[in-house]
Amino acid sequence: MQIHRLGRLSYLAITTALVLSVPILVIAGFLFTGATDVWVHLWETVLQDYVKNSLALMFGVGIGVLMLGVGSAWLTSCCDFPLRKPLTLLLLMPMAMPAYIIAYTYTGLLDFAGPVQTAIRDWTGLRYGQYWFPEIHSLTGAMLMLSLVLYPYVYLMARAAFLSQSAHVLDVSRSLGLPPVQGFFKVALPMARPAIVAGLSLALMETLADYGTVQYFGVSTFTTGIFRTFYGFGDAAAAAQLSAVLLGFVFLLVALEKYSRRRISYFSNAEFNPVSKRMSLTGIRAYVSTFACMIPVLFGFLLPAGVLIRWSLLSNEWQQSSFVDIAVNSLSLAAAAAFISVLLALILAYAVRLQPFKLTRFSVQLTSLGYALPGTIIAIGVIIAFAWLDHTIVPVFEKLFSVDLGLLFSGTLVALLFAYTIRFLAVSLGSVQSGLNAIKPSLDSSARLLGRKPLQVLKEIHVPLLRGTVLTAFLIVFVDVLKELPGTIILRPFNFNTLAVRAYELASDERLIDAAPASLMIVLVGLIPVFLLNRSITKS
């Protein structure tokens, strides 16, 4: 009987993985279908621009996040200078600022009617066209906005790698005559390369997934092309084929990240604590280090957050009854998606713990691919799959029971929650798996000897022990769902709005001040996982 139950849990994990992979398989299947007229038109006109702009955006953001993330990680982990401790937390805060929100704030600051250009005209007496000012609505502007909010991925990974390096290795490099700068480039940086590449890959995946920033700045990329094809041409097949090409870009990034680490192994001796060997910087070097770490904090969080607060005080959007409804919609939807993701993560991780067979492990790994995929791809796959399901099931019910059911799946919250689960299940799964791995298997054996069944062991033993881990996973997924924009725009039901969509709509109408309250709420809630991450790193 017990073996049968264990088998059922594994079957449940495999079935869950197959169901969640359906939208991705739908998108991939369009690679083997014939080209539509719209696809041929895209191929002959704008596809080259999509590829060129997407690659240029990835290159620019890659350079930006490496410059901001690696340098600040090295300084805060291996050097001692004024304000180092608060800066270790402040450098994480831009993670709470979605790229499309920071794009709105800098547009309000740097546009023709913004305070910066207005001050230039007042001080110099020049009129528009008589002076040069960089155009924020450009590919370069998108690169800067994305770099400012995505560098924490590299910062997190690189800082963890630098903190785990043995201090004696760096001492040996100094004893051989290498100054600190050369020791960084020749010893510390190569040892941290796998972690840096992993952080860079995450940042580039988020770059490919971005829609709000590039659309607002008028930059043609794959994500904006998918939206135009889906809504402008009304051709789901051509949008799916564009999504399939973007899917290829994502898998290429994953493959390159794994290929870069194929023959590289780094080992560190955890006995040695690098914190005690932190270099003390004095004089001009100390002030330069503080200034260098303050730049991404100032432009990536403090300045845009201050602008949002000021605009929010000027706006009456808070007082609108619709704002309260939108906030409730967003928080309820995020809570439901986070609960589903954590529940499935517990089931999948526990299935691997009980029966670590290859098929079970592969199925669980398959569910982790969603986080690497843009929300646009998942949304297109979900809407095609659910539309087919509706057109298959609804006519049968109407014929049998003479009842007009409308749409059961597509265009409902079911589709939206399903897409969120695919997109963010990997986040909760990673947290739960790491928590389960820390629990000794002997606890399972003892509980089983006392007559507890597998699900009882999970409920009575593991869930209480994993309370902190589960709460962390819930909060991170909660915030990610709150910030998600492209998938929500495509899949949300009619007359259903969220904070992210509301901010996007108001900003698109150039009502930047009215967009501030929704944007500020997203940012404030987004600070929660930032504090959790910093606390986790500090403890470890």
Q: What is the residue extent of each domain of the chain?
A: 61-314, 315-346+371-540
Contacts of 353 (CB under 8 A, 6+ apart): 436, 444
Mean pLDDT within 340-347: 89
**pLDDT (0 to 100) of residue 5:** 45
Q: Is the pLDDT of residue 139 over 90?
A: yes
**pLDDT (0 to 100) of residue 270:** 45
Q: How is residue 181 written in tokens?
A: 């700068």
Q: In which element (H, E) is residue 31 found?
A: none
Q: In angstroms, how far is CA 419 from the centroid of its own chain?
A: 14
Architecture of domain 61-314: Orthogonal Bundle (1.10)
Position 335 confidence tier, pLDDT thresholds 50, 70, 90: very high
The two beta strands, 279-280 and 79-80, are: parallel
**pLDDT (0 to 100) of residue 208:** 87
Mean pLDDT within 366-391: 83
Rounded Cα distance between 311 and 114, Å, is 13
Q: How is residue 480 written in tokens?
A: 């990610």
Ranges 165-174, 201-210, 289-298, most confident: 289-298
3-state secondary structure 361-406: HHHHHHHHHHHHCCHHHHHHHHHHHHHHHHHHHHHHHHHHHCCCCC
Please give the single-letter amino acid code of residue 98. Answer: P
Q: Which of 530, 504, 531 is nearest to 101 (CA)?
A: 504
Contact 419, 375 (CB under 8 A): yes
Mean pLDDT within 92-113: 90
Tally of residues, the chain = 540
Rounded Cα distance between 308 and 295, Å, is 19
Q: Is the pLDDT of residue 302 over 90?
A: yes
Mean pLDDT within 366-386: 83
Contacts of 231 (CB under 8 A, 6+ apart): none
CB atoms within 10 A of CB 29: 13
Angle between helices 499-508 and 467-483 (to 10 degrees): 20
**pLDDT (0 to 100) of residue 239:** 83
Per-residue pLDDT reduced to its tens digit, 224-266: 888 888 888 777 788 888 888 887 877 787 777 666 666 555 4
- Report pTM: 0.84
Q: How is residue 513 written in tokens?
A: 């001040």
Contact 61, 143 (CB under 8 A): yes
**pLDDT (0 to 100) of residue 274:** 46
Q: Coil, helix or strand for 434? A: helix
Position 273 confidence tier, pLDDT thresholds 50, 70, 90: very low
Residue 409 has φ and ψ, to the nearest 5°, of -120, -60
Contacts of 88 (CB under 8 A, 6+ apart): 76, 159, 534
Per-residue pLDDT reduced to its tens digit, 178-191: 666 666 666 666 77
Position 114 confidence tier, pLDDT thresholds 50, 70, 90: confident
Query: Which residue intervals of 217-268 are DSSP H helices?
Result: 222-227, 236-260
**pLDDT (0 to 100) of residue 188:** 67
Position 195 confidence tier, pLDDT thresholds 50, 70, 90: confident
CB atoms within 10 A of CB 328: 10
- Which CB contacts under 8 angstroms, 24+ apart, belong to 177-183? 180/279
Kindly report which listed range (135-144, 435-444, 475-484) carries the lowest average pLDDT score: 435-444
Q: Is the pLDDT of residue 272 over 60?
A: no
Q: Coil, helix or strand for 80? A: strand
Rounded Cα distance between 504 and 342, Å, is 28
Ranges 151-160, 275-284, 335-344, 439-448, most confident: 335-344
Rounded Cα distance between 347 and 42, Å, is 43
Contact 77, 274 (CB under 8 A): yes
Q: To the nearest whole number, what is the mean pLDDT of the chain?
A: 81
CATH number of the structural domain 315-346+371-540: 1.10.3720.10
Dihedral Cα 30, 210, 480, 365, nearest 10 deg = 40
**Domain 61-314 identical in fold to domain 315-346+371-540:** yes
Contact 482, 522 (CB under 8 A): yes
Q: In angstroms, how far is CA 379 from the centroid of its own chain?
A: 16
Rounded Cα distance between 299 and 484, Å, is 22
